[in-house]
Amino acid sequence: TISLGELSSGRTFKRATTGEDVTYLRLLGLDEESPVDQVDPAALYSPGEDAFVSQPPVQGTFLVFPTLEPFKRPPPLPGLGLTAEEAAELLGEDANPRIYDDPDPFERDNGSRFRLTIPFRHRSEGVISSFGLGALGIREESERIFLEDRLLVRGVDYEIDYANLGQVTLTDPEGLFATQPEAAIRATWEQKQIFQEAPTSVFGLSTHSRLGDVGGVDVLGLYRSQKTLVNRPGLGLAPASIALGGVNGTLDSGVLWLDRFLGRVPGLRVAGESSFALDGELALSFPNPNTRGEVFVDDFDASNERPLSLLAQEWRRGSAPAFTDGAEAVLPLVPDEANVASLVWQHTWILEAAGDSVGIHEGFLPRQQIDQQIRVAGSQSREQGLLLTLGSAVGGGSPRWASVTTVLSQTGTDLTKSEFLEFYVEGGTALTLVMDLGTVGEDAMFVDSQGRTGGVKDTGVPWGLGLLDQEADPARGEIWGTAADARGVWDEDCEGERGRIYRRGDGRAVCTRGNGRNDSEDMDGDGNLDEREKYLRYVISLDGLSPFLARTREETGTAFQLYRIPLQGLDAIHVGGQVTEADMRAVRHLRVTVAGPRAGSLTLARMRVVGSRWIKRSQDGVLRGIIGDTASFMGRVEVTPVSRLSEGEAYQAPPGVLEQLSDPTSAFAGQGIEFNEKSLAVRFEDVQPGDRAEVYSRFPQRPRNFLAYRQ
């Protein structure tokens, strides 16, 4: 473990090759003359710069493995006086070569044996007003929240969200802790049964029959039947039964004929009567692993989906696209402060009629307001939509543009098993969306009311392009709080309010001053202003002519249209270099740039990355020959679920398959359950003679036994 906070107290080591003095972290076990190379030569934390040369310190603590295979071939440990061989001997049976050597990539990814548990403490300013109990299925009204020995009252002292891991929000934290600032909060609760058990019936029969004076017979029978919770049971979930039967008896009687025979034997004296005794039992078992006689290998209803949050706080002001590749027709040649427009993004807003507010928009009912093909059992839950309002350009330039960015993962998420980016759009027919999926720059394009992209705040802190703008800088030991929130990120004229809902397009909805959130341009939390850009770009015209338009308003039956973008289709534009499979395993951001010749607005709903549980054998899914894993140079494959949501009326379910809940009992849940019967689509093109397109699936549990089935 190397704490980069020790950078300021780093020691000087001699580079073995050049002899020049370079300041490095204090490395455990190295003397000042030890040969060392540059730390972070790949510049992971500061792309394009030499490690620790004119760069700000990286915040945080990192685990650095000293060799490429530390759990197979451990390095020498000079601090303990151990050679590599001695370290390997200590590792012994705890070595795990499987994660390096197993030829099956699935086994490599799932062969881990160790877990790192890292405790930490979090500093904060002021009173923490909310915390999570971290439990699923908390039984309503079963919680007991105590402040020391005082029992808090729900609805008076706190509110709790049972669906969100028991998130508790104190209504008046300052008042609660006014007299007891060091008081501790403790909580108890009850949990529901999370996993339902299949209905099980057991019948038994026991009887006894006497055989006069000579004995008796006992008969025992048991029958156990287990039904299934689902309509299309998979392997291991089929309804089963077992019948058990047993018979035992005793027989004990005199044998008179034996006594008469023995009495006739010369010289033999019989002391008493002869008898015959017999004890015995018989047990039988008749298991039936599948009373239906059939089972589904896969019903294809499950898909590999990743919903993207459309909550406004999950999006932030985006950077100016460093490249206009593929978007030359909608973006200015140089996107800058002269043509950037104002942009407001909201997931809640005030509804108006004839200029008067009539309510608050809190989301869309999926079937009535997004897509009438959506099937929902039970009461529907409203889904969030993100309203984007593009205003006028500060410099009056045209075309105008503005960007927002959401973080998929600070360290990168794997999208190699995903095929489509899909979302619904309402409005914005004169606008175009430019979507960049990959890694984008953090330097947000903010222009103040005077057209400036930089300056100095009243506190003397500089802001603007080329700087890492944030409300609290951890490198300086700053702690975010009310004072930092009041300053905002940039020199903004606006001032927001915590939790307030604004009208459509009101700029205060995205003001960083006083909004109650810790705002920062530092999307990955490494303390650097990262400006490297490499991503897949998709240009989506909202005028109804886009090739990505999957279903129109007439087909959805609402004001929304469905767009479905193949992630690695022929229309994807590689920006900043060729986007490889390795890049798709570490996707960090989605930047959405709204561009158009005039002001307008649009609403995004149901944005998600879609794939299938069935995955392609190779990146493109096309292999050479009928055996082996050699990738072909030609062709490509898409494997994805399809349904009426993606195909509309063109999709027809297989004969005899109904559109129904897989688990009927889920209809009694507290919120609506969506069910749309799906099939698996394998689409391929340019597969050459002798090549093959191959997709496969693994059973999520242990290997399955097919010996009980004939077809």
Written as six digits, the tokens of 528 are: 């650097």
Q: What was the pLDDT predicted at 224?
A: 93
Q: What was the pLDDT predicted at 671?
A: 59
Q: What was the pLDDT predicted at 193?
A: 63
Q: What was the pLDDT predicted at 25?
A: 35
DSSP string, 362-419: --B-IIIII-TT--EESSPPPB-EEEEEEEEETT--SSEEEEEEEES-SS-B--TTEE
| Three-state secondary structure readout of 664-681 | HHHHHCCCCEECCCCEEE
Q: What was the pLDDT predicted at 21?
A: 38
Q: What was the pLDDT predicted at 123?
A: 65
Q: What was the pLDDT predicted at 3?
A: 39
| Three-state secondary structure readout of 90-142 | HHHHHCCCHHHHCCCHHHHHCCCCCCCCCCCCCCCCCCCCEEECCCCCECCCC
Q: What was the pLDDT predicted at 17?
A: 37
Q: What was the pLDDT predicted at 166?
A: 82
Residue with tokens 């993100």: 386
Cβ contact 378:672 at 8 Å: yes
pLDDT in tens, 538-559: 999 999 999 999 999 999 999 9
Q: What was the pLDDT predicted at 205?
A: 93
Written as six digits, the tokens of 367 are: 């079937």
Which stretches of the chain score pLDDT less than 70?
Answer: 1-62, 120-127, 163-164, 193-197, 378, 394-397, 663-672, 700-702
Written as six digits, the tokens of 426 are: 């309402």
Q: What was the pLDDT predicted at 393?
A: 75
Question: Residue 609's beta-bridge partner residues?
Answer: 306, 421
Q: What was the pLDDT predicted at 195?
A: 58
Q: What was the pLDDT predicted at 121?
A: 67
